[in-house]
Amino acid sequence: MTKILPFKAVRPTRDKVSLVASRSYQSYTQAEREARLDHNPFSFLHIVNPGYKYDKEISGEARYKLVKNRYSEFKEDAVFMQDQKPCFYIYKIVDRDFQVFNGIVAAASVEDYTNNIIKKHEDTIASRETVFKDYLKTVGFNAEPVLLTYPDNDAISNIIAKKQKERAEFEFTTTYRDTHYLWLIEEPSDIDTITATFNNMPTLYIADGHHRSASSQLLCEDLKNENQKHTGEETYNFFMSYLIAESELRIHEFNRLVKDLNGLTKEEFLIQLDTVYRIENRGLTPYQPSKSHHFSMYLDGEFYSLYLRKTEYNFGTSLDELDAQVLFKTILEPILGITDLRNDTRIHYISGKKDIVNLKSKVDSKEFIVGFGMVPATINQMKQIADDGLTMPPKSTYIEPKIRSGVTIYEF
């Protein structure tokens, strides 16, 4: 039984939301960040990069305190306001390719995460969890929701559709040509229906935001231990989430690029590949796989199709069926010697949202020697791996939607 609650979001004013909203800090190039910081005083990037006004890189606790200061200044200057009563928030995105995403921003339970009612499919890195926990504890807010997914549900869909007949509280288009909308769900009957509907769901699944979830759990433990009057209902017992129906998720693959052949010649590498794959040279014709356990490879100016010889591979678990795991266990680890997918600097990942020609250009630039493409994982694979208590290799999925930071903010 999942616990989802409305909350009092801190939000930009209607006239400034398009200026405040930003992508995640890491998604910008340095030039893009600097342009926004130079020319847009309302960008949320000013909050998360507080040292920019001093032309200085600031890190650690000193940065966290300055982030808190910048956030307070935005509130003092009435760039942000806080809703007077708890609400759910319908967030809709129509992207540049006219894909539509509808979800509900809400507070999800840390206890549900701890008890594996909110399930994960990726491992997290303990040091990153602790760093983000310390950040949250100092700044006192979170501006990036965890993306959770749930089975399609008529009751929730009907409330979303009904509310979207009204004028949106926010409507703005970004320079990325995505249009974003926000509606407030304030009616007690709708809030009760949404709360009860989620309460009847046995599980939710994390689609994106595993480190944010884990950090929220650590934060909850810290603040719980410091609060002698802890009740379990304090805001730190919850984390901001964006809940979206499974049918509206878009899952893309992450393709792999490798810098060398682990000391092998091209011919030696292909011979070793032949043990576990049926190989066909496609020449200059780009090859995009369309089936599970089929891969594309670009090497030395030519495309290849790789079809797994299933008699040479053990499908023991749901994880073994995942193409990212197949590639790791048959090529990356045994042939190319890559054992640590998170930290080995020889491997690089690019989103499969860009076509296979993007992979080709990376190899042609001589920065990498070989690239591998695959089909995306499915929502059912992701759920089964989570249900089985297993975890995917890093960068197994690139999941949309990606909502903007600073549109709804959750305070602890």
SS3 sequence of 62-84 = HHHHHHHHHHHHHHHCCCEEECC
CA distance linking residue 43 with residue 48, whole number of Å: 10
Answer yes or no: is pLDDT of 392 > 80: yes
For 69-159, strand residue ranges (E) read: 80-82, 88-94, 100-109, 118-119, 141-142, 146-150
- In this predicted structure, which of 47-56, 143-152, 153-162, 238-247 has the lowest mean pLDDT? 47-56
Whether residues 392 and 320 share a domain: the answer is yes
Tens digit of each residue's pLDDT (9 = 90 or more) over 205-221:
999 999 999 999 999 99
pLDDT score recorded for residue 19 = 97
Burial state string for 140-157 with b = 16 or more CB within 10 A and e = fewer than 16: bbbbbbbbbbbeebeebe
pLDDT score recorded for residue 89 = 98
Find the CATH number of the domain harbouring 377.
3.30.1760
Whether residues 236 and 290 share a domain: the answer is no
Tens digit of each residue's pLDDT (9 = 90 or more) over 220-231:
999 999 999 999
Whether residues 221 and 325 share a domain: the answer is no
Average pLDDT over residues 253-264: 97
Tens digit of each residue's pLDDT (9 = 90 or more) over 88-135:
999 999 998 899 999 999 999 999 999 999 999 988 888 889 999 999
Answer yes or no: is pLDDT of 355 > 80: no
pLDDT score recorded for residue 55 = 83
CA distance linking residue 296 with residue 357, whole number of Å: 11
Tell me if the pTM is above 0.75: yes
Tens digit of each residue's pLDDT (9 = 90 or more) over 3-44:
999 999 999 999 999 999 999 888 888 899 889 999 999 999
Whether residues 194 and 322 share a domain: the answer is no
Q: Which of 339, 324, 334, 330 is nearest to 373 (CA)?
A: 324
Whether residues 136 and 212 share a domain: the answer is yes
Helix, strand or coil, per DSSP, at residue 117:
coil
Answer yes or no: is pLDDT of 48 > 80: yes
Whether residues 104 and 78 share a domain: the answer is yes
Whole domain around residue 131: which residue ranges?
4-251+400-411
Tens digit of each residue's pLDDT (9 = 90 or more) over 275-312:
999 999 999 999 999 999 999 999 999 999 999 999 99
Tens digit of each residue's pLDDT (9 = 90 or more) over 336-350:
999 999 889 999 999
* Cβ within 8 Å of residue 288, ≥6 positions away: 296, 355, 356, 373
Whether residues 236 and 277 share a domain: the answer is no
Whether residues 120 and 182 share a domain: the answer is yes
Residue 169 gets which letter from DSSP? S
pLDDT score recorded for residue 52 = 87
Helix/strand/coil (H/E/C) assignment for every residue in 203-222: CEEEEECHHHHHHHHHHHHH
pLDDT score recorded for residue 123 = 82
What is the Cα Rg of the chain in Å? Answer: 23
DSSP string, 280-319: EEEETS-----STTEEEEEETTEEEEEEE-GGGS---STG
pLDDT score recorded for residue 295 = 98
* pLDDT, averaged across the chain: 95
Whether residues 290 and 178 share a domain: the answer is no
CA distance linking residue 259 with residue 390, whole number of Å: 29
pLDDT score recorded for residue 82 = 98
Domain total in the chain: 2
CA distance linking residue 389 with residue 119, whole number of Å: 9
Whether residues 210 and 340 share a domain: the answer is no
pLDDT score recorded for residue 175 = 86
pLDDT score recorded for residue 176 = 84
Whether residues 146 and 264 share a domain: the answer is no
Q: Are 292 and 286 a contacting pair, CB within 8 Å?
A: no
Whether residues 182 and 81 share a domain: the answer is yes
pLDDT tier, 59 (very low <50, low <70, confident <90, very high otherwise): confident
pLDDT tier, 326 (very low <50, low <70, confident <90, very high otherwise): very high
Answer yes or no: is pLDDT of 354 > 80: no
Answer yes or no: is pLDDT of 140 > 90: yes
Determine whether 38 is exposed, middle or buried from the number of CB atoms within 10 Å of its CB (0-12, 13-18, 19+). exposed
Tokens found for residue 195: 């709360």
Answer yes or no: is pLDDT of 324 > 80: yes
